[in-house]
Amino acid sequence: EKEPVRVLVTGAAGQIGYAIVPMIARGVMLGPDQPVILHLLDIEPAAEALNGVKMELIDAAFPLLKGVIATTDPIEACMGVNIAVMVGGFPRKEGMERKDVMSKNVSIYKAQASALEKHAAEDCKVLVIANPANTNALILKEFAPSIPEKNITCLTRLDHNRALGQISESLDVQVSDVKNVIIWGNHSSTQYPDVNHATVQTSSGEKPVRELVSDDKWLNAEFITTVQQRGAAVIKARKLSSALSAASAACDHIRDWVLGTPEGTWVSMGVYSDGSYGIQPGLVYSFPVTCEKGKWSIVQGLKIDDFSRAKMDATAKELVEEKSLAYSCLN
């Protein structure tokens, strides 16, 4: 039997936490033959609820689950972890200024960065989900200089999967036959869901989405805003934000990163920009990536038209602004 992998989930007493821990314990994230030990972190006010989650994990008797550590101590939580899923954060509440929310998250991510840097396993892979996800990941990177920047990512896979879902619904095809959409940029409403390279597997081979969807107007307008606004639509319907889809996307993100993307398929991940596609280095920006042997690389050489260029630059601009807001909170 394989050695267990230690997976940290912060904010584990919250909504996404409750949805993701059973997925991890069932092998959805790391595979059906990979034992896991869960490290669950939350803050003091949620300590009792966190303990309830631990009780349920024990009660579920998951064969792959070799241990559960539930704690409010970031150091204990980070000790020896191989994968860190950062869900905990400070949500924006009605009437709060952007700067105040940013300032809370900057201090959380600064502290958790140093706990991870000092205590996580070497080569720990980090996925930041808590919003503002890209900028929280950037702060984490800044304050954990010994963690390679390639190991720090943020979640845009939910947006990617939402885009696949919209194409599948609109063309009435299986979602598993749609691939290679791209989410560029920020996990926010400025993100750019791009279908220019996406394809659908049909009985007569692989066809570009642009060829199958005759309605350019839908692709260039409504499709984009539907994906951008999907989070808000779920909140309106559920009176709670997306949780099961976020948890599932986080498992997809880590699974593909660790085990690799299928041949000919790419996925979207928020990663530290190396200047690809003219996106300035120093931002955590969502790109199309392929993964192999535990490493991601940005898909190169895709043709970018003027429409896409403008949208890719607009979401980069927002990230530059978030970055400077975050830095202003450090002083």
* CB closer to ligand NAX out of 219 and 269: 269
Region 96-115 residues binding ligand NAX, contact defined as CB under 6 A: 108
* CB closer to ligand NAX out of 244 and 310: 244
- The answer to whether residue 158 forms part of the interface with ligand NAX (CB under 6 A) is yes
Which amino acid, 280?
A: Q
- The answer to whether residue 242 forms part of the interface with ligand NAX (CB under 6 A) is yes
Closest CA to 53 of 76, 29, 24: 24
The reply, when asked if residue 137 is annotated as ligand binding, is no
Buried b (16+ CB within 10 A) or exposed e, 282-314: bbbbbbbbbbeeeebebbeebeeeeebeebbee
The reply, when asked if residue 14 is annotated as ligand binding, is yes
Going by their DSSP bridges, the two strands 5-10 and 83-86 should be labelled as parallel
Active site residues: 187
266 neighbors 299 (Cβ within 8 angstroms): yes
Among 7, 11, 290, 311, binds ligand NAX (CB under 6 A): 11
* CB closer to ligand NAX out of 46 and 200: 46
Among 101, 155, 182, 329, binds ligand NAX (CB under 6 A): 155
What 3-state class would DSSP assign to 208? Answer: strand
Helix (H) or strand (E) holding 235: helix 230-238
Among 70, 106, 246, 298, binds ligand NAX (CB under 6 A): 246
For the record, the structure tokens of 132 come out as 């503002």
Q: 306-328 and 133-142 helices cross at what angle (nearest 10)?
A: 50
The reply, when asked if residue 92 is annotated as ligand binding, is yes
* CB closer to ligand NAX out of 17 and 27: 17
* CB closer to ligand NAX out of 43 and 304: 43
Instruction: Quickly tell me which residue has 């905990």 as its tokens.
Output: 88
Q: One symbol per residue from 113 to 152: x for binding ligand NAX (CB under 6 A), - otherwise; what is it?
A: ----------------xxx-x-------------------
* CB closer to ligand NAX out of 163 and 213: 163
- The answer to whether residue 16 forms part of the interface with ligand NAX (CB under 6 A) is yes
- The answer to whether residue 243 forms part of the interface with ligand NAX (CB under 6 A) is yes
- The answer to whether residue 15 forms part of the interface with ligand NAX (CB under 6 A) is yes
Helix (H) or strand (E) holding 40: strand 36-41
Q: How far is the CB of 53 from ligand NAX (least distance, A)?
A: 10
Q: One symbol per residue from 30 to 59: x for binding ligand NAX (CB under 6 A), - otherwise; what is it?
A: -----------xxx--x-------------
Count the Cβ atoms, other than its own, within 10 Å of residue 206: 12
Buried b (16+ CB within 10 A) or exposed e, 57-84: beeeebebbbebbbbbebeebbbebbbb
Helix%, strand%, coil% for the chain, nearest 5? 45, 20, 35
Give residue number: closest CB to ligand NAX: 14
Going by their DSSP bridges, the two strands 178-179 and 36-41 should be labelled as unpaired
Q: How far is the CB of 288 from ligand NAX (least distance, A)?
A: 17
DSSP notation for 158-201: HHHHHHHHHHHHHHT--GGGEE--EEEB-SSTT-EEE-TT-EEE
Q: How far is the CB of 235 from ligand NAX (least distance, A)?
A: 9
- The answer to whether residue 70 forms part of the interface with ligand NAX (CB under 6 A) is no
Q: How far is the CB of 153 from ligand NAX (least distance, A)?
A: 11
Task: List binding-site positions for NAD(+).
Answer: 11-17, 42, 105, 129-131
List residues near ligand NAX by CB under 6 A.
10-11, 13-17, 41-43, 46, 87-91, 108, 129-131, 133, 155, 158, 187, 241-243, 246
